[in-house]
Amino acid sequence: MKISRLLALWLLLLVFAACNKTIVPEPNPETNRPVSLGLSCQGAIVIDAATGEALYSLSSDFTFVPASMTKVMTMYIVFDHIEKGYLSFESQIPVSSYAASRSVNPGESNVPLNESLTYSVDEMICALCVVSANACAVALGEYLSGGTEKDFAVIMNRYADSLGLNAHYDDASGLSAKNGISPRSMADLTRDFIKRFPHILKYTSLTRWNFRGTVYGATNGLLPGQSYYYNGCDGFKTGYTSAAGLCITATAQLADKRVIAVVMKAPNSYMRYRDAANLMDYGLSVLMNRTTAQGIQSLFL
C-alpha cells in the first residue's frame, strides 16, 4: 500500500513537470551559426587585401607545412634586396654544384641549371613563379646568404620575425617538412608583398614562359586559360609535398576590390582550387555588398 502511494505521487510529479516544461526553440541556422563554405582543406583564410581584415577563416592560426609557398618569402627577400639597391633584376646569379644537381632531380619541380653559367634574377623569379623551380630558390638563397640554403633560412626567419609572422623556415625552396606557417600569416605576407612590390604580380600572372628555348606552363590552375580559371586571378603561389598536401595562396581583383585566399592541406588538386575559388567568391561578395550598402546609405544622408 505504501509503495503504491509513492508510485502514484511520483507519476503525479512527472505529469506536473511535463505540463510546466519550457520548450527551447532550435537556433536559427541563418543567424546563430557561422556561414559554411564546405571547404575540404584543413586550414584556410580569405582577407581583404586593402585592410588585412579576415573575411572568413578555418584554423587560420594553426601552423601547416607550406611546401612551395615557402618560395613567397624567398622572393620577398629578393625584392627587398632589390629595393635597397643590393641587387637588381639584371644581376647574374651563379649556380653551385648542389643547386645544379637539384635542378635535374626528377622528383622536384625545376628548370635545368648549368653550373658553368649564370642566370639573371629576372629569369629566376620567372622560374619560381611559373615552374616553382626549387633549384632557383636554392641558388638565390646561397647567393644572398653567402653560404648554404640552410644559412638563407636563418635570414628568412629574421624576416618572418620582423613581419610578426607565425612562421618558421628551414629551407628556401619548401621541400623540407620542417617549414611551417599559419594561413593567416601566409595571407599577411602575401598582402605585404603585393602592397610593397606590386611588380610581383607581373610574374605571378604569367601563364607560360620561355626559359632558354623551352616553354613551361604555369602551375597555378586559377590563371587565365588554365583548367580552373578564376576571373580576376593574377597569382600567387601553389605548393605540394606529401607532408603539406595540396595548398595554394591565390589573389583576385574585382573592380577596385582585391582579396587574398590561402588553402592549406587540401586532399587533392581539384579540392584545392575549388576551396580557393569558394573563398575568393565569398570574400569578394562581402566586399561588394558592403560597397553597395554604403552607396545606398549615402543616398539618405
Report pLDDT digits (tens) over 160-178: 999 999 999 999 999 999 9
Q: Which one of 3.40.710.10, 3.30.950.10, 3.40.50.800, 3.30.2130.10 gives the CATH number of domain 39-289?
A: 3.40.710.10
How do the domains of the chain map onto residue ranges?
Answer: 39-289
Q: Band of the pLDDT at 12, cuts 50, 70, 90?
A: very low
Average pLDDT over the chain reads 88
pLDDT at 217: 95
d(CA 206, CA 223) in angstroms, rounded, equals: 8
Tell me, what's the pLDDT at 35?
A: 74
The residue among 277, 268, 187, 272 whose CA lies nearest residue 232 is: 277
pLDDT tens for 74-113 read 999 999 999 999 999 999 999 999 999 999 998 899 999 9
Pairwise pLDDT comparison (297 vs 139), residue with the higher score: 139
Full-model pTM: 0.85
Categorize the per-residue pLDDT at 200 as very low, low, confident or very high, splitting at 50, 70 and 90.
very high
Which pairs from 194-197 meet CB under 8 Å and 24+ separation? 194/49, 194/251, 194/258, 194/260, 195/49, 196/79, 196/80, 196/83, 197/76, 197/79, 197/83
C-alpha cell at 5: 502511494
